[in-house]
Amino acid sequence: MKLAVPMKVETGPSVVRRTSVREIAIKIVSEYSFVLSFILLVIIAATVNHNFFSWANISNIFVQSCVIGLIALGMSMVISAGQIDISVGSQVAFIGGFGVLVLNATGSVMAMLLFTAGTGILLGLINGLLVTKGGMPSIIATLAMMGAARSIINHFGSGGPFTVDRAYYDTFRQIASGGVNVFGLSIPYFMIIFIVATVVFDVVMKHTRLGKHIYAVGSNEVSARLSGVNVDVVKATTFVITGLMCGIAALLYASRTTAVAASSAATMFELDAIAAVAIGGTAMTGGRGKIFGTFLGVLMFKIISNILTAADVSTFLTGAFSSAIIVIAVLLQNFQNRKR
């Protein structure tokens, strides 16, 4: 076949060739920068705190991370689909408050779990329907949910705490304080829950149709629709799953604090969860992200706040630090994208 126009000389990635060490290094820096920052942070923390690598400290970090961690995993899904959920803190307070009432009434942790999980799914479904069927931007739909859930729980609790009855106090508290003994190491339940949840989310996002579709919707809704993806179902599912995670997190939160204060429980959790997702390298515009990144992001977040506590920084300032983390992480992402 003779062509009048010279064939384009193929250059760049279309030619099969070996990847150089330099390229691999660049790839690691750009795609796994969260691992590098995690290692850096651990080094800093270890120099500040000489007990950093003690099992007590490590397991404690996991225990402190678990509640935010579960929420952040859901948030990763929502953000990967190009959405946002700022109602998670209020959802935890709402579900946790009523969950304590259910526990006090029935005395059964299982009944409480059914209630918190079910309510979480319901709140998530409302968010999802407002966004898909209602055609609302997710920040508006979940802003409304944030206000409504907090206000209702405040009304029923008159702003005060929902306290676990003395009768169930000790058994219920076991969830947060207890653990499994393996070769003399006490592994807290919270640590197991967080790690198992991370593995489940990682598998879902990497190896299931739902996971692939979430990234597809977050990357390009039109293409996704033209490839047969039911965009509305995918978006709504991410909110439902986040609601479910808030439900489970609410139970764990109640177990840890044994009292859910209507007006102050889980405040600013949305900020912390989004910050963890951001430092984990998930694109805030959707389409790209790693569950393992979020996992490390949550841990980094706790390590930073522990360093701050050790340095006697006022707890009132944690919000400022979380916000700074979000801004820096997203600026770095933008900087990386511009280089590509």
Partner 1 sequence: MKDIVVDFGPVRAVDHVSIAIEPGEIVGLLGENGAGKSTLMNVLAGAITPTHGEVVIDGSPKTLSNAKVAGRLGIRFIHQELNLCNDLKVFENMFLGEELRRPTRLLDTATMITRCREALGRMRADIDPEAVVGTLQAAEKQLVECAKALLFESELIIMDEPSTALTNEETAELFETMRALKKDGVSFIYISHKMPELFEICERYYVLRDGALVAEGAFADVNENSITELMIGRQLAHDVFDDHTDHTKSEVLVKAEKLSGAGFEDVNFELHAGEVIAITGLQGSGRDQLADALFGALPFSGTLTVKGRRVRSGSNVRSFMRRGVAMVPRMRKERGIHNDLSILDNHNMAYTNARSRTPWVSRPAALRRYERQRKALSIKANNPADPITSLSGGNQQKIIIGKWLEAKADVLLLDNPTQGIDVGTKFEIYHLILDLARREKAIVVFSAEPPEIRKVADICLVMFKGRVNAVLERDQITERNLLFYSTGANLRGN
Q: Which residues bind partner 1 (CB under 8 A)?
A: 1, 3-5, 7-8, 10, 12-17, 19, 207-212, 215-216, 218-220, 222-230, 283, 286-288
- Measured from the CB atom, is 157 or 293 closer to partner 1? 293
179 pairs with which residues across the strands? 188
Cβ proximity to partner 1: between 255 and 333 the closer is 333
266: DSSP letter = T
User: Contact at 8 Å (CB) between 75 and 87?
Assistant: no
Closer residue to partner 1, CB minimum distance, 212 or 256 = 212
Side-chain-side CA neighbours of 116 within 13 Å: the count stands at 30
Burial 185-224, CB ≥16 within 10 A → b, else e? eebbbbbebbeebbeebbebbeeeeebebbbbbbbebeeb
Distance CA 104, CA 270 (A): 28
CB 117 → partner 1: shortest distance, Å?
Answer: 20
**Based on CB atoms, which residue is closest to partner 1, 23 or 165?**
23
Closest CB 37 distance from partner 1, rounded Å? 21
Residue 193 Cβ, how far from partner 1 at the closest point, in Å? 23
| Shortest reach from residue 327's CB to partner 1, in Å | 22
What is the closest distance, in whole angstroms, from the C-beta atom of residue 208 to partner 1 in the complex? Answer: 5
User: Minimal distance in Å, beta carbon 27 to partner 1?
Assistant: 10
Sequence-ordered alpha helix ranges (H) in 81-185: 88-106, 109-132, 138-157, 166-177
* Nearest distance, CB of residue 22 and partner 1, angstroms: 16
In angstroms, what is the minimal distance from the CB of 133 to partner 1? 15
For every residue of 187-203, DSSP letters joined together read EEHHHHHHHHHHHHHHH
End-to-end C-alpha distance for the chain, whole angstroms: 37
Neighbours of 83 (CB within 10 A): 27
**C-beta separation of 72 from 281 below 8 A:** no
- Closest to partner 1 by CB, 223 vs 309, is 223
Shorter beta-carbon distance to partner 1: residue 173 or 225: 225
Contacts of 115 (CB under 8 A, 6+ apart): 98, 99, 102
**316 vs 335 by CB, closer to partner 1:** 335
Supply 63's token pair.
């225990």
Q: Kindly state the DSSP code that residue 1 receives in the 8-state scheme.
A: -
> Measured from the CB atom, is 109 or 291 closer to partner 1?
291
Q: Look up residue 213 and give its two tokens.
A: 């579709």
